[in-house]
Amino acid sequence: EIKACLFDLDGVLVDTAKYHYIAWKELAESLGFPFTERDNERLKGVSRVASLNILLEIGGLTLPEEEKTQLADRKNNRYVEYIAKMDSSEILPGALEFLKECREQGIKVALGSASKNAMTILNNTGLTPYFDAIIDGTHTSAAKPDPEVFLLGAQALEVLPEHCVVFEDAEAGIEAATRAGMFSVGIGSPETLNAANIVVPSLQQLSVSSLRESFATI
């Protein structure tokens, strides 16, 4: 039985992946190397510090910690400029409808995001009132694929992992859900998200009743 739905934020509920990409690309280019959309796939769902390490590896750079902190801050400042202008038009197709449907059907709703900017995004897009619990990058000590963020979400909702469904667009997030002992829904392409229990192109293609049917078959 499904008692709770736990949603990733970036790339599942809102279209912020493009801003992360632009901000990282600007940083890479300022350091003198190119950064492609394909490179960017490796950063999805990964924490800010881990993302910077991957980016520097792509550019073949090794830098002292202090300089890395400055670069991570520089990227974040650019990203914050972009998300400051966000509004509800950047909620992904079907996301709001699905959140409403969950609530109508008595399913609890939590956020499980790696981002330290989650509250700004939820407030600017008007999504905050749809959540019973919010776990973001300011609450966690271990990043996805560690299951911590989703286990904390389930705990806050007082629901056992076996009654939880996780919605994720990142491979690391699907792995985190599996390690938490939760059913996972991949949002995106089946090639990258093949470890998920089911995959849909967006939340627009899913209803709570069809989710319940898939959940019942496992």
8 flagged as catalytic: yes
Task: Quote the least distance from Cβ 105 to Mg ion, whole Å.
Answer: 24
Nearer residue to ligand BG6 within complex by CB, 2 or 72: 72
With CB under 6 A as the rule, give the number of residues binding ligand BG6. 18
Residues 36-95 that bind Mg ion (CB under 5 A): 45
Interface region with ligand BG6, contact rule CB under 6 A, candidates 38-46, 86-94, 96-104, 175-183? 38-46
Task: Quote the least distance from Cβ 213 to Mg ion, whole Å.
Answer: 25
- For residue 83 the two structure tokens come to 């998300």
Cα separation, 133 vs 107, in Å, equals 12
40 binds, among ligand BG6, Mg ion, none (CB under 5 to 8 A by kind): none
- For residue 147 the two structure tokens come to 């299951």
Are 33 and 81 contacting, i.e. CB atoms less than 8 angstroms apart? no
Q: Which of 2, 8, 39, 101 is close enough to bind Mg ion by CB under 5 A?
A: 8
Q: Which residues are CB-neighbours of 145 under 8 A, at least 6 positions away?
A: 172, 173, 175, 176, 179
Cα separation, 10 vs 92, in Å, equals 10
- 165 binds Mg ion, rule: CB under 5 A: no
- 48 binds ligand BG6, rule: CB under 6 A: yes
The β-bridge relationship of strands 164-168 and 4-7 is: parallel
Nearer residue to Mg ion within complex by CB, 101 or 169: 169
Cα separation, 62 vs 100, in Å, equals 47
- 20 binds ligand BG6, rule: CB under 6 A: yes
Task: Quote the least distance from Cβ 212 to Mg ion, whole Å.
Answer: 24
The radius of gyration of the chain's CA atoms, rounded to the nearest angstrom, is: 17
- 76 binds ligand BG6, rule: CB under 6 A: yes
- 169 binds Mg ion, rule: CB under 5 A: yes
Q: Which of 5, 7, 11, 58 is close enough to bind Mg ion by CB under 5 A?
A: 11
Are 112 and 166 contacting, i.e. CB atoms less than 8 angstroms apart? yes
87 flagged as catalytic: no
DSSP state of 92: P
Cα separation, 169 vs 24, in Å, equals 19
Cα separation, 116 vs 161, in Å, equals 24
Residues in contact with ligand BG6 by CB under 6 A are 9-10, 20, 43-48, 51, 76, 113-117, 137, 170
- Residues belonging to the active site: 8, 10
